[in-house]
Structure 1
Amino acid sequence: MLDKVRNTGRKAILYRMVMPSHTCPYGLKAKDLLQRSGYEVDDRHLTSRAETDAFKAEHDVATTPQVFIDGERVGGYDDLRRHLGKPVADPKATTYRPVAVLFTLTALTAMAASYAVSGSPFTLRAAEWFIAFSMVALAMLKLQNVESFATMFLNYDLLAKRWVPYSYIYPYAEGLAGVLMVAGALTWLSVPVALFIGTIGAASVFKAVYIDRRELKCACVGGSSNVPLGFISLTENLMMIAMAIWMAAVSLGYIHAM
């Protein structure tokens, strides 16, 4: 039977799975949250599958960990967060956070590379690297699960709808163009590739979002993201177009790169 504890201080009982081959990560998170919230934790381990199943049956719960405060069951980790007045992330909610993090890190990486090469983080080369690094990072995220990316991409890309293999080619082409642009090599290849996929991508996003008014998820950071299709997706493609035009102009001698 559950030992009931009167909250003479701030006390909580935590039941969590701690087995030789598995320690429940949510149990660890619940313990940490309780301790950071000022609770004295009576940490009780469920050390076998049989013990865990018996606990679930006794308290009529489907999962562990389980937290009890003042002798009353609060619930699992998410329930504990709600009990403590803390936000609980909705895995289905749309968010721009993955894109914001990616662009922030690629910008900082480009500035760091520029500083290492020239002694200044604020150079024209840093701006070029920012776009190229972003292309490589975005391609990498897409290629983590190319099937999932292709499925989402087919919802809106104009060329992929007509020729399905393009949905698989796209992330490889983006990554290749990005790597070549970082190196400043084979401009004759990187420029047309980036210009081609960027132009089709921009047209596809503009039509889907601003003409057809469709509410879709963007495949830009992979097929499992909840980033909405819109301005960010359009920006990715416009960046590729701008980079392609810039590098073509530099290569042809119309602009002298610094």
Structure 2
Amino acid sequence: MPLLKVNHLTKNFGGLAAVSNVNLSLETNELIGLIGPNGAGKTTLFNLLTGVYEPSEGTVTLDVLGKEHVLNGMKPYKIADMGLSRTFQNIRLFKDLTVMDNVLIAMNSKNKEGILTSILRFPSFYKKEEEMEKKVLELLAIFGLEDKVQTLAKNLPYGEQRRLEIVRALATQPKVLFLDEPAAGMNPQETAELTELIRKIQKEFQITIVLIEHDMSLVMEVCQRIYVLEYGRIIAEGKPEDIKNDPRVIEAYLGGEL
């Protein structure tokens, strides 16, 4: 069965259908693109899949060890614990906390130490804390942030803030990582580095990545399959070459861009 399956997903705001009858199927270790014009419903779809919004209709199911779990109605933190994590269009770091603390907060969702152990500071508490800090350093090293451990998040350059947000999402040990316009605001060099970074994440972490992005060169270069949204509906799905040459997609979104 698919890792994540979306059936007839719909979200209405008053009389407006922001997402309408969307069907998606994601396999393990895929790199999927989600494209479409501004206002097409891409971020709303991410919000539905990660529990920020509850669907008006339809279901979202996640395969966990061969068993389907319906995610409808779950709180975002529960969905994150099930294995879905994300970044945001507008960076949402804890700006007055250090790089280390930003990632530790995310990793703490997997910490199973009891309240009593944490309050009384048993030896197991300090051992677990050391293990988590070691894992954080290993993660930061992959992203070239190991020398910024004690830097406040707000003092990082823009590109490094983007990378830190991805590290924080990965610290929850996701099965599916949703990246919402990670190249937004980046210059060409930063975008090229991000392209390689996305490839590296998929290779090292063996997870499914779903990417919302307006930079079509990035999408076409890294994605294995692409879904196209227009007015909240999927109008096309396929490999990059198929999407690139689809007349309806060209008319709705790509134009002469490719």
- With the shorter chain as reference, the TM-score category is under 0.3
**Greater relative CO, 1 or 2 (CA 8 Å, sep 6+):** 2
TM-score (norm 1): 0.27
Q: More helix by proportion, 1 or 2?
A: 1
TM-score (norm 2): 0.27
